[in-house]
Chains A and B, each alone.
Chain A
Amino acid sequence: QVQLQQWGAGLLKPSETLSLTCAVDGGSLSAYYWTWIRLPPGKGLEWLGEITHSGSAKYSPSLKSRVTVTVDTSKNEFSLKVTSVTAADTAVYYCARVQRWSLPGRGSYYYMDVWGKGATVTVAS
């Protein structure tokens, strides 16, 4: 049973860099995509980006300039960095495993089947 253990700094000041890491326990990074999602207070879920085990990353266009997702296969971990944070980045951040594939004429299948417990990040001066 794959589990995701996540950690990182919970309280940041504006302009600092958010940094979170997610470790994959009970399975391998290989053969899957991995993603970060956040839940701001009072709002809905927001997809931040994804990465493959080989390090190929894709980001949400709205955050692309500030978000970086990296992978460390030797540690079976992947990480999230968000630069120049503001109060709008206050949220619970989740890491998750992605099931993803495309079929001609059937569309793009993309869902998260394993989630980390979440890490609360607060940005305040």
Chain B
Amino acid sequence: QSVLTQPPSASGTPGQRVTISCSGITSNIGSNPVNWYQRLPGTAPKLLIYNNDQRPSGVPDRFAGSKSGASASLAIGGLQSDDEADYYCSTWDDNLAGVLFGGGTKLTVL
């Protein structure tokens, strides 16, 4: 069982905006920046958002990250069929002295 809690699934229609949540505690999200990874079917994870709200070069601004307290969110606007993937949040945990991931959210574009 993952320490960072994500909904197992999310869905939306093309063009819609979808939000995926990630909940933690003080020692992880409450104290450290959050990152998001996208894993398209059959491929390796790809860095989507780092340091709470920064996008790597090449990631469209339809993807936006935010953090408040011990929770974080990933918002995807203008949903496209290519966005169907698994999304994982991740951060450092001070108590564990290691990296935590959420259980992943499977996004379906209806």
Contacts and interface: CB of A to CB of B under 8 A. Distances in A.
A108 B100 CA distance: 12
B12 interface: no
Interface string A43-76: 1111100000000001111000000000000000
Nearest to B33: A109
A97 B54 CA distance: 18
B101 A108 contact: no
B50 A118 contact: no
A34 interface: no
Interface string A69-103: 00000000000000000000000001000010000
Which of B35, B44, B45, B46 is most buried by chain A, counting CB atoms within 10 A of its CB?
A: B44
A39 B2 CA distance: 12
A110 B88 contact: no
A61 B100 CA distance: 12
A45 B3 CA distance: 12
B7 to A, nearest CB: 12
A58 B92 CA distance: 13
A37 B47 CA distance: 14
A111 B51 contact: yes
Contacts of B41: none
A107 B44 contact: no
B74 to A, nearest CB: 14
Contacts of B45: 37, 45, 94, 112, 115
Interface string B1-34: 0100000000000000000000000000001110
A39 to B, nearest CB: 8
11 contacts: A35-B99, A44-B88, A44-B104, A45-B104, A46-B101, A59-B98, A60-B96, A107-B31, A113-B47, A113-B50, A115-B46
Interface of B: 2, 31-33, 35, 37, 39, 43-47, 50-51, 56, 88, 90-92, 94, 96-104
